[in-house]
Structure 1
């Protein structure tokens, strides 16, 4: 079946559907919904069997939905309608929510229902729910709908609010007034719900030191309290603010009127005001270490998976300390939503010299990668609970083993960020693991990759479990077996011998020098592509066209084929 994914952006849900539908033999192409004329052109060129809209910000034109079957993926239960489905579900404290796949008609979200999949709500951010529960439910719903297209007897279910199982309703666009925090009245749970309902977009507007800022990345501050609304201090990137019954950590802020009107670490946004605050030494932490049965687990929950120069340095120091422990295995856990997405483009964009900060950041992540690669005392594991992209994928490959949760999406390429060459010793790690031909395929494709393909190519060593809880449980069992392996000492000896042989053949320093020579041109050379791409990414500049790497219907080599396959 030819399926056109019509979407506002190639976000995590769209990427997952792209991967899974292709895996099931469907011909899949993607078109960014730029405007009606461009979308109509794409439909005329592609003549799809199905138009699937997983992430739209406006209605599909009647000229399209009246001629083609168009299915909308709506992040709400049956009957839920409106653009703020998840926002309201979190703010209202819903215990169960869902995803509905419905047919596009003139009235928004009111078309016939092709599939509906519910899930229990989790106390977390909108963004985390979207990447996990919503994505898994959407995948199930879409696959059910696609299978139903083959059934002659199938008829979609009309929206009928008299039906017992239709609990949703039309909800308005959520506004800032709906989630405004009253620090003199709201308890910790309420404050967290309000911020989480707006994380990662649009954030909750609030006043701090006479400036209107948007709040993101909120967590309960255990054991802290004070005058409601007061800033109690800071720890790491976060500030602590008191509620009526406790306090919350706020990790990121956005100053829309400031010089850098995008999300940044809260302490960075406050700037000089930080000098007036007390540092709380034992509070918020985006790096955490634990031990269990001979295994050290190093967690690094970096917001959106971005790793700044400072974070890379702190993680490297934490890793070195973990290596000193009397354990046999070190597991690099990342965070529950992301393992790593490489260098921190927002902090780079906000730097006085983005080129200099880019250079500092890539060297800091390289320093971390080198520590992992040269570890002789432990078996190392990268455990991908969440997605990974760009340098984060190759940083993970620095470990002896890479294990991933089955639903994880990898983007093992740099080129979409202004033709970045990339570093993290990938020119050593990747060919050594997968071979030159596969290494070229992985880095040049510019396509998201699922765990099945990544495992087949050798980028992963194993994948298992769908949800995070089951993944961590199985991960710990596997790590324990590694630590208890009677042949562990022999394997470590072999690991050291292999590393020494590799070093004699070509030193790590030489791989790094060659990679950074190319990166230096990206950062300081005459071609500004990286700086333009980074700016567009950070400032969320809408795409003006869909790249042919995913828009196969726009590739003249594929356009006339029945399944958009490339014609040589």
Structure 2
């Protein structure tokens, strides 16, 4: 079928559905919902058999939902209605939640139900639940609904829905509903409130007498008990704040009234205010933790759960030191685990935007990532594996490919492109790594593409070596078992010798330093050249400037080349 995804933004769920529907042979196009006129125009251009709205903040125009079936993906159980479903479920302590696919009508979230799927609630942030449990349930429900629709079926019978229905209308959540009472709230309550708003919009609060939205909170055990609500310490990007029965680390904040009103590390956003605070060593038992190393027999596991997968200059340098320490250990295999929410998304665009010179910080950041990528490629003492349990984008994809093998969880989505960031050229030695693993033709296709890529396609193109099916926990269990098996193989010394011989032959043909310098020449043009596209795109991304149109890279119905194909011309024009 021809399916149109109508979205407010092309988020992780929308990208996953784009991949899953495409893999099942459906023709998929995307329209970013700017206004009614553009949405109606998109439907007229594409003439879809079905419209699906995975992430939509406005009502679908009547002219659209009255002319064809439009399915809404609602992150709530059957009967649940309203725009804050997942947040309410978290704040009210629901132990099980779900996703409902329903048909758009004139009344919000009240149309016929096409499919639903349930999942157990996990203690996590809203964004984590959305990217994992909600996305998995939504994919299952949407595929069920699409199959039923394609077979000529109808929505779920009203009697069945009535039996399942236990939801209700919930108004949009207000700041007061999640406000923190630092005098009365326990650590657990504070963490739950911040978790329920993490991602967007954060919990509105005050820090140092200024309005701030709080994100990225975790327990801060072992700190001294002082006045409740007081800021008592700092650790890396985070500040510790006292609660009724302990303290929490707050890693990131947004100061809406400041010169930099976007998310930043708390210690950067309030640099002057925190200067006199006691400092707890980063990644110590009592401190804020964003790098963790562990060992199991002959295998070392390096975790780096940087917030939103952003790897700034300092983060890259610290991770490089941790990696160099890991290769000094008496192990055989190093598994690069990234974080549970993102493996890596490359450059920290928010920190670059906040720098005195965005161009200088961009160059420092890409150079630091390159140092890490080169260290991984040059590793001769160990076999390296990038194990992606979560999504990766831009430079994070190519950093992962620096390892000897890349293993992906089946639900992972990759965005191996820079072009949407103002035609950024990219580095991380991708001009060496992609031809080496993917071949020349696939390298050309990957470099030109701007679409999300699923795990199967990544393996097919050589961006990954293995896809592992199952849940997140199952992925890590299988990764540990397979890495241990690899480390204990009788032929491991020969495998390592073959790897080193291949690296030496590649180096003799063309040094890594040459690839790196060629990439950085192009990057310097992006950062310091006459074309400001990268700086404009980065500014718009960081400041959340809404798109005024849908890029033709995802909107095939607006692509002149697609519309010119003779077989389509009759329907599309």
Q: State the TM-score, normalizing by the size of structure 1.
A: 0.97
Matched, 1:71 2:75: no
Deviation at 1:465, TM superposition (A): 2.5
Measure, in 1, the Cα distance between the counterparts of 2:151 and 2:372. Answer: 53
Counterpart of 1:417? 421
Counterpart of 1:51? 51
Counterpart of 2:249? 249
Counterpart of 2:32? 32
Counterpart of 1:196? 195
Deviation at 1:220, TM superposition (A): 1.4
Deviation at 1:155, TM superposition (A): 3.8
Counterpart of 1:172? 171
Measure, in 2, the Cα distance between the counterparts of 1:122 and 1:69. Answer: 33
1:494-544 deviation digits (Å, cap 9, x = unpaired): 111111111111111100110000000000000000000000100111111
Counterpart of 1:449? 453
Gaps of 5+ in 1: none
Measure, in 2, the Cα distance between the counterparts of 1:85 and 1:416. Answer: 31
Measure, in 2, the Cα distance between the counterparts of 1:152 and 1:365. Answer: 51
Cα distance change of structure 1 residues 259 and 406 upon mapping to structure 2, 3 Å threshold? same
Aligned partners of 2:113 and 2:155 also within 8 Å: no
Measure, in 2, the Cα distance between the counterparts of 1:548 and 1:373. Answer: 36
Counterpart of 2:496? 492
Aligned partners of 2:352 and 2:361 also within 8 Å: yes
Aligned partners of 1:27 and 1:564 also within 8 Å: no
1:145-188 deviation digits (Å, cap 9, x = unpaired): 00111344544344998x34211110011111000000110011
Aligned partners of 1:75 and 1:98 also within 8 Å: yes
Measure, in 2, the Cα distance between the counterparts of 1:48 and 1:24. Answer: 16
Measure, in 2, the Cα distance between the counterparts of 1:131 and 1:155. Answer: 26
Equivalent residues in 2 for 1:320-469, closer than 5 Å: 320-469=324-473
Measure, in 1, the Cα distance between the counterparts of 2:413 and 2:481. Answer: 23
Matched residue SS, 1:98: strand
Cα distance change of structure 1 residues 79 and 174 upon mapping to structure 2, 3 Å threshold? same
Counterpart of 1:139? 139
Counterpart of 1:259? 259
Aligned partners of 1:226 and 1:232 also within 8 Å: no
Equivalent residues in 2 for 1:519-538, closer than 5 Å: 519-538=523-542
Give 4+ residue runs of structure 1 displaced > 4 Å after superposition.
158-161, 560-565
Matched residue SS, 1:233: strand
Measure, in 2, the Cα distance between the counterparts of 1:473 and 1:63. Answer: 50
Measure, in 2, the Cα distance between the counterparts of 1:153 and 1:357. Answer: 56
Cα distance change of structure 1 residues 155 and 497 upon mapping to structure 2, 3 Å threshold? closer
Cα RMSD after superposing both structures? 1.5
1:221-258 deviation digits (Å, cap 9, x = unpaired): 23335232122201111111111112111110101111
Measure, in 2, the Cα distance between the counterparts of 1:167 and 1:224. Answer: 43
Measure, in 2, the Cα distance between the counterparts of 1:489 and 1:242. Answer: 52
Measure, in 2, the Cα distance between the counterparts of 1:219 and 1:125. Answer: 10
Equivalent residues in 2 for 1:157-168, closer than 5 Å: 157-158=157-158, 163-168=162-167
Measure, in 2, the Cα distance between the counterparts of 1:146 and 1:128. Answer: 26
Measure, in 1, the Cα distance between the counterparts of 2:568 and 2:249. Answer: 51
The total of aligned residue pairs comes to: 565
Deviation at 1:443, TM superposition (A): 1.5
Measure, in 1, the Cα distance between the counterparts of 2:537 and 2:233. Answer: 36
Aligned partners of 1:27 and 1:563 also within 8 Å: no
Counterpart of 2:156? 156
Measure, in 1, the Cα distance between the counterparts of 2:101 and 2:253. Answer: 34
Aligned partners of 2:36 and 2:61 also within 8 Å: yes
1:344-400 deviation digits (Å, cap 9, x = unpaired): 000000000000000000000000001100000000000101100111000000000
Measure, in 1, the Cα distance between the counterparts of 2:491 and 2:213. Answer: 53
Matched residue SS, 1:271: coil
Deviation at 1:466, TM superposition (A): 3.1
Measure, in 1, the Cα distance between the counterparts of 2:186 and 2:517. Answer: 53
Counterpart of 1:115? 115
Measure, in 1, the Cα distance between the counterparts of 2:255 and 2:159. Answer: 42
Measure, in 1, the Cα distance between the counterparts of 2:225 and 2:412. Answer: 41
Measure, in 2, the Cα distance between the counterparts of 1:421 and 1:121. Answer: 41
Equivalent residues in 2 for 1:266-277, closer than 5 Å: 266-277=266-277
Matched residue SS, 2:380: coil
Counterpart of 1:17? 17
Matched, 1:6 2:10: no
Cα distance change of structure 1 residues 158 and 149 upon mapping to structure 2, 3 Å threshold? same
Matched residue SS, 1:275: coil
Aligned partners of 2:114 and 2:154 also within 8 Å: no
Measure, in 1, the Cα distance between the counterparts of 2:547 and 2:378. Answer: 41
Aligned partners of 2:75 and 2:100 also within 8 Å: yes
Matched residue SS, 2:275: helix
Aligned partners of 2:115 and 2:155 also within 8 Å: no
Gaps of 5+ in 2: none
Aligned partners of 1:46 and 1:559 also within 8 Å: no
Cα distance change of structure 1 residues 160 and 187 upon mapping to structure 2, 3 Å threshold? farther
Deviation at 1:9, TM superposition (A): 0.8
Cα distance change of structure 1 residues 41 and 299 upon mapping to structure 2, 3 Å threshold? same
